[in-house]
Amino acid sequence: MYIELKNINKIYPNGFHAVHNFNLEIEKGEFVVFVGPSGCGKSTTLRMIAGLENISSGEFLINGARANEKSPREREVAMVFQSYALYPQMTVYDNIAFGLTLQGVDEDVIEERVRKTAGILGLTDYLDRLPRALSGGQRQRVAIGRALIRKVGIFLMDEPLSNLDAKQRVTMRSEIAQIHQETGATTIYVTHDQTEAMTLADRIVVMKDGYVQQVGTPYELYFKPANVFVAGFIGEPPMNFVRDTVEHGKIHFGDTEVDLAAIRPDAAALEGKSVVFGFRPEAVTLEGRPEDAVRIDCKVELTEMLGDNTNVYITAGEQRAILKVDSHDTPETDAAMTFWIPRESIYLFDGETENVL
């Protein structure tokens, strides 16, 4: 189904404005992820789409028709919650079949669809078990199956993996991606985990304080962030930022003067302005001086060996940053070191608005 949200606002009776002028078009079969920190309005927006929250103002359209006043059932949506919400006294089979049973669907049809859904989710051998006999990942698959079996046009998922351990989350991420590929349902997925967003989404909506910060593909958000918040939220470890005022066309990173004229042709227009200089931890080079790169001399404060790479925490004067380097290049703690930032990997943001320059 095709979904459109036009200037959607959510204002609670106490006056709290949870969602501000939310605008988005979602194509049929698209997988869109809402991501942001706790309290940013992403779950509230999802609940307005589901019909579980009233829309204070704006227009919500499904296939071009206004749906603000429609009930959840009329909207043809299925929702998977963080808490699984399974019936403990029912078997896996009955939990998955529950929605169809309420609709009075013929038992033979229910059995066929339950077994097909269980096969997709790897639950065939567990249909006679109660939820308490399942692992967290298996319970979540049952919850997904209960939503999936209804064959609705819109599939909504609210933090479905947050109760799972790290290994289960990785497994379930791949399973959710496969389910979406097989069903082709329009899917909206809410998470605070940017790794889930980057690995699952066709497009990502980044939110903060009820406002949409940027909408784009994972590639666009990573390589073309619209502002400091998006640049710092997407990527692990987050982007490094250095704040300074441009003087004589230059800013400082520790004892290093960075000539902005070599980075941007419009550097003269930035004179006297506050800017934020950003670069990603993995964008640095340690060996050999690349052409068109900024050299930074620093001191190693701490290293975190993570297997295939090492996080290196450095200081340069009063500035701090994190570098992500190959584990074979791990420096010694307290050692002096030099790294280079390729000019094409440098970002500049306005120091006041924090929007990209």
Residue-level pLDDT at 140: 86
pLDDT at 184: 87
Residue 39 pLDDT: 93
Residue 42 has a pLDDT of 97
Q: Is the pLDDT of residue 19 over 90?
A: yes
Taken in order of first residue, the domains within the chain and their CATH numbers are: 3-233 (3.40.50.300), 240-350 (2.40.50.140)
pLDDT at residue 48, as a whole number: 97
* Average pLDDT for 305-328: 95
Reported as a pLDDT band with limits 50, 70 and 90, residue 171 is confident
Residue 288 scores a pLDDT above 80: no
CA distance 261 to 284: 20
pLDDT for the residue 65 = 95
Torsion angle of alpha carbons 44, 46, 51, 52, nearest 10°? -50
Average pLDDT over residues 271-293: 90
Secondary structure percentages of the chain, helix, strand, coil, to 5: 30, 35, 35
The mean pLDDT value of the chain amounts to 93
Q: Between 92-102 and 136-148, two packed helices, what is the crossing angle to 10 degrees?
A: 20
For residue 83, pLDDT beyond 80: no
* Structural tokens at position 307: 């297997």
pLDDT for 250 equals 94
Q: Is the model's pLDDT at 332 over the cut of 90?
A: yes
Mean pLDDT of 194-199: 93
Mean pLDDT of 317-331: 94
Query: At residue 33, what are phi and psi to the nearest 5 degrees?
Result: -115, 130
The answer to whether residue 84 scores a pLDDT higher than 80 is no
- Rounded Cα distance, 80 and 257, in Å: 52
Q: For 323, phi and psi rounded to 5 degrees?
A: -110, 145
pLDDT at 208: 97
pLDDT exceeds 90 at position 216: yes
153 pLDDT band, cuts 50/70/90, is confident
Structural tokens at position 82: 């963080």
Single-letter residue type at 252: H
pLDDT of residue 351: 96
Tell me the mean pLDDT in the region 18-28. Answer: 97
75 Cβ contact list (under 8 Å, min separation 6): 49, 50, 51, 62, 67, 154
Read off the pLDDT of each residue in 234-239 and give the average, rounded to a whole number: 94
pLDDT for res 141: 87
C-beta atoms surrounding 186 within 10 Å: 23
